[in-house]
Amino acid sequence: MYSIEQRDEQLLGGTAAISYHIGFERAAQHIVSVRMRIDNVLGESLVVVMPSWSPGSYKIRDYAGYQGNVSTWLMDGARRKPALAAWRDKASLVIETKGATSIEIEYLIYAHERTVRTNHVNRNHAFLVPTALCMYVEGRTQEVHHVLFAHNRAQWPSISTALSPVKAPSSEGVLLGALNYDVLADSPIEIGDHQVRTFDEAGATHEVAVATNHTLDLDWLVTQIQRIVHVEAELFGGVPYDRYVFIIQVYPGAGGGLEHARSSVNAVEPSSMLDKSKVVALLSLLCHEYFHTWNVKRIRPVELGPFDYTRESYTSMLWLAEGLTSYYDDLLTYRCGFTTAKEYIDSLSKDHIAKLAMVPGRFAMSTRDSSYLAWLKLYMASPDGSNRFPSYYLKGGVIFLLLDIYIIDHSDGKYSLDDAMRAMWKRYQQNPSVGMTEVECISIIEQSTSIQIRDRLLDWLNGTTELPYNEIFDAVGLRVETTAKVADPVKIGENIVFATVPRVPFIGWSLAESGGRISVRAVEDGSPAARAGVGIDDEIVAVDGKRVNTSAQVDHYCGTMIGKGAILTAHCDGRLYTTTISPVEQPNLRLVQIEKPSSRQKQMHDRWLHRTL
Ligand SMILES: [Zn+2]
């Protein structure tokens, strides 16, 4: 039976017939050595497999590509002799066991890619992702697995992971364990001299592990994380674990996170605590990954657990997994008190509704299909991607915003999406080994809130037309409106307007600057740029005969040409061309409060944005 639940006490003092010895002698060269031992071997052969992907990150990464120097051994007491083995496919090795009851497989892993779902090892630390490190034995994934980490503990005193201690650390290393391979695969490990803080909340232990050589106010951050745990635990009526680890990686270029059942990995820039909007983004990321403790790791589409680690797990329900979580991450950021109600609505306006309005792909593909094809779309987006599909995070999140308000409105404030969440949580607890189908999920939403939403919700999920914003938002006194975007006037002294307010042009391209050259990175379907025949990777040379070296210059010159045509000189594949481009006013789509809301609108608005902290 599939289960990712584990309590530390379950592993203490136990044994395992499948174990790994992880060595770091060559950490400086980003190499980890693995010696995997398999006991209780039966029959003439067995198959060991390296996963091809990590659940939660929907891309085939072929982790076997990082593996090398594979050798296989038949064990006979303390002696061993080579075992014959042959690759069955790119990631599966068939080993002839010849009646031996124990075998070993040794290999090296090159670990030099710094993301939340790849191994990163150097002389300073090790971040290990078990799906990219530990092979599994076909047919034996349900057994207990042990991992011995043989690092230099004087150099690397801390180890942070959801894997459970088996016994006290010894001269051999730190022995940790998982009840089955799924738990092991789901438990990344940070080893090094990182800082660790712990706190108790909702009857469980929480560890915050911050791996960085940058300065960060860790105590302040831990206080905020405790607030996040408090608010989310309150929503679900407690936490489903005994111990949880927040791994926070801080390095230049970092971004994103990955959820696990008893931990999460959150990667942020060193500047992430330097200004207000960045701190809020960091806290929102933590809210998001932590919310996955319930939604995705436990409440989940039927296809997302148990997993086939060798191939894609297709699901059209990432609108539930990520769309719902995207809606809640900002809502919970607000409920934690990290944003005001106005800031929350401004963020819905700018980062969700206006952002979606700039994605022509919402007319080209449904949210359900965008989910199903995530492996080739969101995770392998081409520069043209925004024209071809909407992100199920972005559009899925907006759909849940509409759904929440719809539920509140149609139940006269009696129910909200929180009630549907709690009902889905109850369903998980009743049958944790099997995920939900779409039919079941929608039924739970309907039953828990006493509203009929199936047809509408399926319309929104399957549709490629604009969502009915104003019909839904009216209930809480909000409205989506479009005006022309006007830049803020620049003043000098008290009252002297420095220059006439520039108009903000819309051209429908994104530009990149490099070495004084401006190149086109993306072109929006149907936009002035597309109509002018500009293509991706073209170089913009001049606007109306004026040489341009920065995208600000392009914007400035185009801003003066709104409503008129501008002669654009550009370069494509070694040939110069000229074309006429017709910039238009940048539309400013905003979610705004209506003037003079009725008492019911106010009441429904307060119900929606109710918070207890
Ligand atoms: Zn997520």
Sequential DSSP letters for 22-72: EE-TTGGGTEEEEEEEE-S--SSEEEEE--S-BTTB-S---GGGGEEEEEE
CATH class of 8-184: mainly beta
Written as one letter, the residue type at 53 is W
In contact, 283 and 224? CB cutoff 8 Å: yes
Place of tokens 């045509």: 565
Rounded to the nearest whole angstrom, what is the distance from the C-alpha of residue 378 to the centroid of ligand 1? 13
Cβ contacts of 372 within 8 Å, gap of 6 or more: 314, 315, 316
Rounded to the nearest whole angstrom, what is the distance from the C-alpha of residue 124 to the centroid of ligand 1? 29
In CATH, 491-585 is 1.10.150.20: no
Choose the most confident range, by mean pLDDT, from 374-378, 483-487, 494-498.
Answer: 374-378
Rounded to the nearest whole angstrom, what is the distance from the C-alpha of residue 437 to the centroid of ligand 1? 19
How is the chain split into domains, by residue range?
A: 8-184, 314-478+606-613, 491-585
Rounded to the nearest whole angstrom, what is the distance from the C-alpha of residue 532 to the centroid of ligand 1? 38
Residue 269 pLDDT class (50, 70, 90 cuts):
very high
Residue 205 pLDDT class (50, 70, 90 cuts):
very high
d(CA 448, CA 450): 6
Rounded to the nearest whole angstrom, what is the distance from the C-alpha of residue 43 to the centroid of ligand 1? 42
Tell whether the model's pLDDT for residue 250 goes beyond 90.
yes
Sequential DSSP letters for 357-377: HT-GGGGTS-HHHHHHTTTTT
Cβ contacts of 276 within 8 Å, gap of 6 or more: none
In contact, 116 and 65? CB cutoff 8 Å: no
Rounded to the nearest whole angstrom, what is the distance from the C-alpha of residue 394 to the centroid of ligand 1? 11
Average pLDDT on 448-473 reads: 98
pLDDT tens readout for residues 407-426: 999 999 999 999 999 999 99
DSSP reduced 3-state for 213: coil
Rounded to the nearest whole angstrom, what is the distance from the C-alpha of residue 329 to the centroid of ligand 1? 9
What global pTM score does this model have?
0.96
Sequential DSSP letters for 504-529: -EE-SEEEEEETTEEEEEEE-TTSHH
DSSP reduced 3-state for 398: helix
Rounded to the nearest whole angstrom, what is the distance from the C-alpha of residue 337 to the centroid of ligand 1? 21
Rounded to the nearest whole angstrom, what is the distance from the C-alpha of residue 196 to the centroid of ligand 1? 24
In contact, 260 and 186? CB cutoff 8 Å: yes
Cβ contacts of 17 within 8 Å, gap of 6 or more: 38, 39, 40, 140, 143, 144
Tell whether the model's pLDDT for residue 469 goes beyond 80.
yes
Q: How much is the pLDDT for 339? A: 98
Q: How far is CA 248 from CA 116, 396, 608, in A?
A: 10, 26, 31
In contact, 256 and 314? CB cutoff 8 Å: no
d(CA 393, CA 257): 14
Rounded to the nearest whole angstrom, what is the distance from the C-alpha of residue 293 to the centroid of ligand 1? 10
Rounded to the nearest whole angstrom, what is the distance from the C-alpha of residue 172 to the centroid of ligand 1? 37
Rounded to the nearest whole angstrom, what is the distance from the C-alpha of residue 290 to the centroid of ligand 1? 9
- Report phi then psi at 165, rounded to 5: -65, 135
Rounded to the nearest whole angstrom, what is the distance from the C-alpha of residue 27 to the centroid of ligand 1? 31
Tell whether the model's pLDDT for residue 586 goes beyond 90.
no
Average pLDDT on 476-493 reads: 85
Q: Do domains 8-184 and 314-478+606-613 have the same CATH topology?
A: no
**pLDDT, mean over the chain:** 96
Secondary structure of 61-113 in the HEC alphabet?
Answer: CCHHHHEEEEEEEEEECCEEEECCEEEEECCEEEEECCCCCEEEEEEEEECEC
Q: How much is the pLDDT for 598? A: 98
DSSP state of 351: I
Rounded to the nearest whole angstrom, what is the distance from the C-alpha of residue 298 to the centroid of ligand 1? 13
Tell whether the model's pLDDT for residue 94 goes beyond 80.
yes
Vertex 475 angle, CA 473 and 480, to 5°? 20
Rounded to the nearest whole angstrom, what is the distance from the C-alpha of residue 193 to the centroid of ligand 1? 28
In contact, 174 and 149? CB cutoff 8 Å: yes
Rounded to a whole number, what is the largest CA-CA distance in the chain? 90
Rounded to the nearest whole angstrom, what is the distance from the C-alpha of residue 289 to the centroid of ligand 1? 6
Query: E-strand spans in 223-381?
Result: 243-250, 257-259, 263-268
* 235-249, 388-402, 559-573: segment of lowest average pLDDT: 559-573
Rounded to the nearest whole angstrom, what is the distance from the C-alpha of residue 258 to the centroid of ligand 1? 7
d(CA 197, CA 525): 49
Average pLDDT on 70-88 reads: 95
Residue 504 pLDDT class (50, 70, 90 cuts):
confident
Q: How far is CA 548 from CA 38, 554, 568, in A?
A: 65, 6, 10
Listed residue (109, 101, 145) closest to 126, CA to CA: 109
Rounded to the nearest whole angstrom, what is the distance from the C-alpha of residue 524 to the centroid of ligand 1? 27
Quick one: how many helices (H) and strands (E) in the chain? 17, 33
Q: How much is the pLDDT for 587? A: 85
Q: How much is the pLDDT for 491? A: 82
Rounded to the nearest whole angstrom, what is the distance from the C-alpha of residue 292 to the centroid of ligand 1? 7
d(CA 530, CA 50): 45
Please list all protein residues whose beta carbon sits less than 5 angstroms from ligand 1, which is an ion: 322, 325
Written as one letter, the residue type at 568 is L
pLDDT tens readout for residues 301-344: 999 999 999 999 999 999 999 999 999 999 999 999 999 999 99
Query: E-strand spans in 318-367?
Result: none
Q: How much is the pLDDT for 57? A: 97
In CATH, 314-478+606-613 is 3.30.1050.10: no
Written as one letter, the residue type at 63 is Y
